[in-house]
Structure 1
Amino acid sequence: MTSITSVQLNYLVFRYLQESGFTHSAFALGYEAGINKCTIDGNMVPPSALITLVQKGLQYLEMEANLSNNDADVDEDFSFLEPLDLITKDVYELRKIIREKKKNLQKERDKDKDLDREQEAERGRAREKDRIEREKEHEKDRGRKEKEKEQQKQREDHKEKEMATDPEGGDNTKHDENGASAGIGPEPMDISAAPSVVACEIPSSDVTILEGHTSEVCACAWSPTGSLLASGSGDSTARLWTIADGASRSSAQNGPLNVLVLKHVKGRTNEKSKDVTTLDWNGEGTLLATGSYDGQARIWSTNGELKTTLSKHKGPIFSLKWNKKGDYLLTGSCDRTAIVWDVKAEEWKQQFEFHTGPTLDVDWRNNVSFATSSTDNMIYVCKIGETRPVKTFAGHQGEVNCVKWDPTGSLLASCSDDITAKIWSMKHDKYLHDLKEHSKEIYTLRWSPTGPGTNNPNQQLVLASASFDSTVKLWDVELGKLIYSLNGHRGPVYSVAFSPNGEYLASGSLDNSVHIWSLKEGKIVRTYTGSGGIFEVCWNKEGDKIAACFANNTVCVLDFRM
């Protein structure tokens, strides 16, 4: 038993009421040191009432301490009680009051957190767009400077040539009837229009320009089984384009009958929170999934019908993938989580909350396990039904932008803002290869559809990486060595895609160009230059058409024949 004097009892009550802010309230507490009397609301309170009050307080303290073992929580709990509650309520009623008030407080905090997340997502989106614009301006400036430098060199070379042919400084230049100087060549061409590249230029008759989006087109994907091309844009829509087999047709022929508009917001089409950020077809080509800045995933039929809306994320969806079987959809979000959705049940099956930063990419290893990457520099391999990662890969020193499993699911490739790509195996904790030949951030990578377990088993498996250093690099994944550095772009390369037969690689850049490379020769065999930066390129299943989506609101389809 703990013994305290009546003076101490009075003091305890006085301090509690004082610290709770009731010194100037209706609860007027009269206290005289050494005299065991007290008034509340002008009424004398005998020592027995004070003893009851403090006993209940001590009883409550003891009960809460036994439950939580956290003195700080117990101290905080008293802030939820009114002084009159201590006198008129028993211990269990006091506990109920505190529990209800804590619950309401937590709701308010959760609302504030959700608002903070939304604001953080919006700021992140704005920063990303600003960064892209800065990159564009930088590349334009660099292009202008290079052109000016080349022009200056041409002028100097011409001047030297003139002096060499006419030491006295005379004018031996012949003029035609129109006054044009026969001795002076044309203005120097841009690098992308050099003779070797011009010879590879895809003629306009082999290009179909698809118009209709009203904002930048961020993503595109061919149906794996048919002639449908899907595109996703910042205008809050995805579109399904029917592309005829054979040679391209003019864009005028791609009228309303050949495109379906999948609206992600009713009425308005310029609501930025509904930007379509990512999309993916299921293996049968019967369903298209789209991810949006509003945090929702949507599933559409090939006739444009909205089948399902999947809502649980609390931030923009950055990546989205179907598993091979087509029964699960995987999404990664700015809210730091990944979710596996049961498509048939139209509900989430499991949410994975391991990352401490936004989830940037996800990729299935097989039908039940997958990898995730994040701004927190970490990679986790997860499995449906498991509450912890089955494998953790740590080694990057910057945001991990992309993760991709090889065709057999035995090797995982990753790339990062730390200017490296890495190759991992489930059999090892540390990376197998650290690929360090790039000089700027690596944005994305892709495995070739070659090697064991593919349709091209007799060809070597290679990895392609695309970087802000304007290059694409091809890697020998067994040795971890560079095969080719493909140096044809003059701006950050955002996307690469292998042809179905594994013989060619398409790349798209902010320099407005799509290059098609021969992997045997390591050189450009075809090229196309549009009027906007390119965010994604992809091949159709036959390997005779390439789609590219542009920042100028268009999608281009290129015919490819060798």
Structure 2
Amino acid sequence: MNHVALSSDQVNYLIYRYLKESSFEHSAWVFNEESKANQLGFKETDIRTGELIRIIQEGLQLRDLAIHARPEGRTIDCHVPVQLIGVHQCDAPSTPSHSTEENMLINDNENERIDPRSSPEEESTKANDVEARLEVMDQEVNIIERERKRDSQNIDARQRDQINELKNNQNDNNDDMEIDIPTSSPSPLYGPPAGTLGPTKKSSSDRASMANPVVYKLESSNHLLLKVPGEELVSFSWKPKEDVLATGGQDGILRIWNIPEPSEKLQEPKKIEYPPWLNTQTAFITWLDWHPIQDDLIACSYFNGLSTVYKINSGLLHRKLEEHRESTLKIKWSPKGLRALTASCDKNVICWNRDGHAMRFAEMHKDTVTDVAWKDDKIFASCSNDKKIFLWDYKMRDKPIMEFAGHDDEVFSIKWDPTKNYLASCSKDGKCKIWSEGHQNPLQTLQAKDGPITCAEWHPKSNDSETLLLTTSQNSGVVRIWSALEGICLHDFSPSKSHINAIEFCSNGLYFATGSADNLLHIIDAKSYKIRESHILGNDIMSIKWNYNCTKIAATLHNGTIYIIKAFLTD
């Protein structure tokens, strides 16, 4: 028998790789800081993309076999997929599947059984045979049920022992502490966060609606929580000129939500499912982008390396983009929507025209391409974990027109200023650099003493005749306003005491919002730098986006839920 060698180092490295491949850059960085996963001596080339998902899938297949296989070689013919979480319930435990030879015999017997010319003695004999087979099946089902109940009782006993031990330990430290005891059968829905008015459990009569999204209206009239049971909503994008939000998650389904006003009721979202003829094993959505002009089109990138363009009104697949060999992290339309860019873990950048034709650029990057940014409909930039940034002309695919090198670690985001003359880059080295076409070296390097810069955002109304303003945040919770070309910090303040994961200006430039790891979303006046509003959400805030008219903010949390904040509701 082969021995299995499993260590925590291997598990940590696979988790680290999964977070990076899923574009959870902040989570990957924090996890690596604590686990030192990239210092464990493993080579990225030795591990395939999606290895953690593949191992889990193989484990689920073994669990499926263990649940449904019988000692005599038969298997239970169950159509309910085995889940990673929850107790498996077979939909047809009384109809075990048979081998090919057995099926042939059964079909022959059935043909004989319906012969109207059979004698009463033959019919009686056949009836006895049928009853005997049914009796055997019933015995098999009883054995299965007893084994399931025994396993469930063993699990419940272990849970009770663990809970009692936890209670005893907690009582020794704090007699007033309350312990939540899990039920033997987990609830099919996530419980709402603190302050919600929705129920925490669903009865058996509600199970038919488990696939529908759950919407919790919070006690605050300007909070709305979007949630899909059992799935995480990871990516989202506002429609350019409407209060319509597109969300995508781990189930690979694109959902289109019409976000109502406070006095209106939220309707069920329109669902566009991943095409069944494509590989669905790792088809969760990594990025969404509405077409800037033809707002009936939306582009999606997937973890399995594919990208798609859907027509929202009809719900039909418009284009299938399948040139990448590994996970596609982002897809972005050009300003006029003439082309789209995809960034991938396969180190490639691909430009797609409107008919879906792929223009593959020279493989200059030596590691995962983490971000792409259009300057206009012809020129764009790409950045990578290889610490470099390239500037490309879509007509020149053999080599980039510029190479920017100066960061000491992975570059995870790049953004053009409103004039499209300057490019800001943020890196894992904690620095933000300002680049310009025609200059090999950075014009400025922005760095703070109280912690590395984690994200940066240009003021949308800056122009060449005024000071180009850039807002940055540190993992210490400090926000700074810079005169970017001078490298001078004009103002700094601390809206949060924890890591700030996101900064986003509204389109009119009057306000910007920050989202942090301490669950706080602040709306800040862009002139006075005073906090206009504060919202406490249920988990770490990972990303935020304003709608088209600056009245609502969508925020994704670390637990996969999405909040809709109705800003300035008291005005």
Name the TM-score, length of structure 1 as normaliser: 0.60
- In the other structure, the counterpart of 1:465 is 472
Query: 1:234 and 2:234 equivalent?
Result: no
Equivalent position SS for 2:221: helix
- In the other structure, the counterpart of 1:283 is 292
- In the other structure, the counterpart of 1:537 is 544
* Separation in structure 2 between the aligned mates of residue 485 and residue 272 of structure 1, nearest angstrom: 46
Once the two structures are overlaid, the 10-residue window that deviates more, 285-294 or 321-330, is 285-294
Label 1:329 to 1:131 Cα distance change in 2 as closer, same or farther (>3 A): closer
* Separation in structure 1 between the aligned mates of residue 357 and residue 408 of structure 2, nearest angstrom: 36
- In the other structure, the counterpart of 1:300 is 310
Name the TM-score, length of structure 2 as normaliser: 0.60
Once the two structures are overlaid, the 10-residue window that deviates more, 320-329 or 301-310, is 301-310
Larger Rg: 1
Structure 2 unaligned regions, length at least 5: 1-12, 35-217
Label 1:135 to 1:350 Cα distance change in 2 as closer, same or farther (>3 A): closer
Question: Which residue, 358, 381, 393 being the options, matches 1:371?
Answer: 381
Check the 8 A contact 1:208/1:558 in 2, yes or no.
yes
Equivalent pairs, count: 369
- In the other structure, the counterpart of 2:18 is 125
Equivalent position SS for 1:479: coil
Shift of 1:136: 9.1
Query: 1:210 and 2:210 equivalent?
Result: no
Shift of 1:267: 10
* Separation in structure 2 between the aligned mates of residue 542 and residue 275 of structure 1, nearest angstrom: 30
- In the other structure, the counterpart of 1:520 is 527
- In the other structure, the counterpart of 1:359 is 369
Question: Which residue, 384, 387, 399 being the options, matches 1:388?
Answer: 399
Shift of 1:372: 0.4
Check the 8 A contact 1:419/1:438 in 2, yes or no.
no
Shift of 1:130: 11
The one-letter code of the counterpart of 2:437 is M
Equivalent position SS for 1:552: coil
Question: Which residue, 332, 335, 338 being the options, matches 2:343?
Answer: 332
The one-letter code of the counterpart of 1:520 is K
Check the 8 A contact 2:361/2:399 in 1, yes or no.
no
Query: 1:254 and 2:261 equivalent?
Result: no
Query: 1:491 and 2:498 equivalent?
Result: yes
Q: Deviations over 1:392-413 (max 9, x none)?
A: 1111001001011111210000
Pairwise CA RMSD of aligned residues?
Answer: 3.0
Equivalent position SS for 2:237: strand
Check the 8 A contact 1:286/1:302 in 2, yes or no.
yes
Shift of 1:446: 2.0
Shift of 1:238: 2.9
Label 1:515 to 1:213 Cα distance change in 2 as closer, same or farther (>3 A): farther
Shift of 1:423: 0.5
Label 1:474 to 1:130 Cα distance change in 2 as closer, same or farther (>3 A): closer
Label 1:291 to 1:522 Cα distance change in 2 as closer, same or farther (>3 A): same
The one-letter code of the counterpart of 1:336 is K
- In the other structure, the counterpart of 1:313 is 324
Q: Deviations over 1:458-514 (max 9, x none)?
A: x75311223433333322123111223341223332222101110111112222221
Higher helix proportion: 1
* Separation in structure 2 between the aligned mates of residue 219 and residue 348 of structure 1, nearest angstrom: 24
Q: Deviations over 1:224-243 (max 9, x none)?
A: 12221112223323321111
Equivalent position SS for 1:360: strand
- In the other structure, the counterpart of 1:423 is 434
- In the other structure, the counterpart of 1:341 is 352
Label 1:236 to 1:532 Cα distance change in 2 as closer, same or farther (>3 A): farther
Shift of 1:382: 0.6
Shift of 1:383: 0.8
Q: Deviations over 1:334-360 (max 9, x none)?
A: 1111100012x2221233411001000
- In the other structure, the counterpart of 1:100 is none
Query: 1:409 and 2:425 equivalent?
Result: no
Check the 8 A contact 1:219/1:535 in 2, yes or no.
no
Structure with more contact order per residue of length (Cα contacts < 8 Å, sep ≥ 6): 1
Label 1:135 to 1:349 Cα distance change in 2 as closer, same or farther (>3 A): closer
The one-letter code of the counterpart of 1:497 is E
* Separation in structure 2 between the aligned mates of residue 448 and residue 491 of structure 1, nearest angstrom: 23
* Structure 2 counterparts to residues 89-104 of structure 1, below 5 A: none
Shift of 1:333: 0.6
Label 1:438 to 1:511 Cα distance change in 2 as closer, same or farther (>3 A): farther
Once the two structures are overlaid, the 10-residue window that deviates more, 418-427 or 232-241, is 232-241
* Separation in structure 1 between the aligned mates of residue 453 and residue 285 of structure 2, nearest angstrom: 23
Label 1:384 to 1:131 Cα distance change in 2 as closer, same or farther (>3 A): closer
Label 1:381 to 1:131 Cα distance change in 2 as closer, same or farther (>3 A): closer
* Separation in structure 1 between the aligned mates of residue 525 and residue 566 of structure 2, nearest angstrom: 16
Equivalent position SS for 1:379: strand
Label 1:134 to 1:451 Cα distance change in 2 as closer, same or farther (>3 A): closer
Equivalent position SS for 1:307: strand
Q: Deviations over 1:313-341 (max 9, x none)?
A: 11111222100121100011111111000
* Separation in structure 2 between the aligned mates of residue 268 and residue 368 of structure 1, nearest angstrom: 31
Check the 8 A contact 2:227/2:233 in 1, yes or no.
no
The one-letter code of the counterpart of 2:257 is W
Q: Deviations over 1:291-329 (max 9, x none)?
A: 111111111222333211200111111222100121100
Structure 1 unaligned regions, length at least 5: 1-119, 140-201
* Separation in structure 2 between the aligned mates of residue 439 and residue 291 of structure 1, nearest angstrom: 36
* Separation in structure 2 between the aligned mates of residue 214 and residue 418 of structure 1, nearest angstrom: 36
* Separation in structure 2 between the aligned mates of residue 248 and residue 232 of structure 1, nearest angstrom: 26
- In the other structure, the counterpart of 2:560 is 553
Shift of 1:425: 1.0
Equivalent position SS for 1:404: strand
Check the 8 A contact 1:449/1:461 in 2, yes or no.
no
Shift of 1:420: 0.4
